[in-house]
């Protein structure tokens, strides 16, 4: 059984961006932190860091943010970037301001291009991040692709073969699954994530991607009611759709 981590109350709140260690101590001394309806008085007390804290603890009368171990899905809109290296607004700007001051920090699990929309996972849990992005996991990711020109008809076979070489690369792509939806649109499911992979795969078969949207990772589907720019914290059930439980957990 995995051990539940504990943290001093002031450290927990400071790490979650509620203020400096001193500021959060003042919050506690002012009686503004409650647990299960009782006012907490000792900022030094150790707290078991469990998911349900955000239902049980109030800060200034408001539910605590999701504690460390947070994972969320974001409906990434077009025009925002996943990387500080690219120009333009960042996906982190779509999260509450306080969440940008968390330690451990929240980062994206893999990336989508600036001009790709759809399902993006984010977490502060390094272990989860590595399990999802590990090449050994082969987690399927599904993209809805809109094309400039009609499909030729041989793309599904070429992508499934596991022999397609992208320009400038030394290793062939793993087999990928293409499902044609119309003359100029398809689902493409990949189990790896090379740079601009979908766009480069279609370039390799003489086409051009005009719109790209990821709607599925593992068995987790971007909910229809999650609008571009909105996010949702993942439940244990959602996480189980992405990855099987870790061995020994």
List C-alpha distances in Å: 64 to 10, 57, 216: 13, 6, 29
Using alpha carbons only, what angle is made at residue 86 by residues 124 and 220, rounded to the nearest 5 degrees?
45
For ligand URA, the closer CB: 54 or 189? 189
- Minimum gap (Å) between residue 88 Cβ and ligand URA: 14
- Minimum gap (Å) between residue 37 Cβ and ligand URA: 46
Residues of the shown chain interacting with ligand URA in the complex, contacts defined by CB under 6 A: 112-113, 116, 196-199, 212
For ligand URA, the closer CB: 64 or 73? 73
- Minimum gap (Å) between residue 111 Cβ and ligand URA: 7
Measure the CA–CA gap between 122 and 74, rounded to whole angstroms. 7
For ligand URA, the closer CB: 28 or 80? 80
**Annotated active-site residue in 10, 65, 113, 125:** 113
Structure tokens at 201: 């795969």
For ligand URA, the closer CB: 98 or 196? 196
For ligand URA, the closer CB: 16 or 80? 80
For ligand URA, the closer CB: 99 or 143? 143
Q: Note if 113 is an active site residue.
A: yes
- Minimum gap (Å) between residue 131 Cβ and ligand URA: 20
Measure the CA–CA gap between 152 and 166, rounded to whole angstroms. 19
Taking alpha carbons only, the member of 104, 106, 105, 112 closest to residue 82 is 112
- Minimum gap (Å) between residue 114 Cβ and ligand URA: 8
- Minimum gap (Å) between residue 196 Cβ and ligand URA: 4
CA quadruple 53, 57, 59, 60: dihedral sign: positive
- Residues recognised as catalytic: 113
């Amino acid at each position: 059984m995995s051990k539940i981590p504990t943290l001093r109350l002031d450290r927990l709140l400071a790490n979650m961006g509620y203020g400096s260690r001193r500021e959060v101590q003042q919050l506690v001394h002012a009686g503004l932190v409650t647990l299960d309806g009782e006012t907490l008085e000792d900022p030094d007390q150790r707290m078991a860091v469990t998911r349900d804290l955000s239902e049980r603890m109030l800060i200034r009368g408001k539910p605590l943010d999701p504690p460390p171990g947070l994972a969320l899905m974001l409906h990434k809109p077009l025009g925002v970037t996943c990387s500080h290296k690219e120009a333009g607004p960042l996906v982190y700007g779509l999260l509450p301001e306080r969440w940008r001051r968390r330690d451990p920090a929240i980062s994206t699990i893999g990336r989508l291009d600036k001009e790709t929309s759809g399902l993006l996972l984010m977490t502060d849990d390094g272990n989860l991040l590595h399990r999802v992005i590990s090449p050994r996991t082969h987690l399927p990711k599904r993209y809805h692709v809109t094309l400039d020109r009609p499909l030729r008809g041989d793309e599904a076979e070429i992508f499934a073969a596991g022999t397609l070489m992208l320009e400038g690369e030394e290793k062939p792509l793993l087999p990928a699954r293409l499902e044609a939806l119309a003359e100029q649109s398809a689902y493409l499911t990949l189990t790896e994530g090379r740079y601009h992979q979908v766009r480069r795969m279609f370039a390799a078969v003489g086409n051009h991607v005009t719109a790209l949207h990821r709607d599925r990772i593992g068995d987790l589907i971007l909910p229809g009611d999650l609008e571009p720019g909105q996010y949702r914290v993942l439940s244990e059930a959602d996480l189980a759709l992405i990855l099987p439980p870790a061995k020994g957990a």
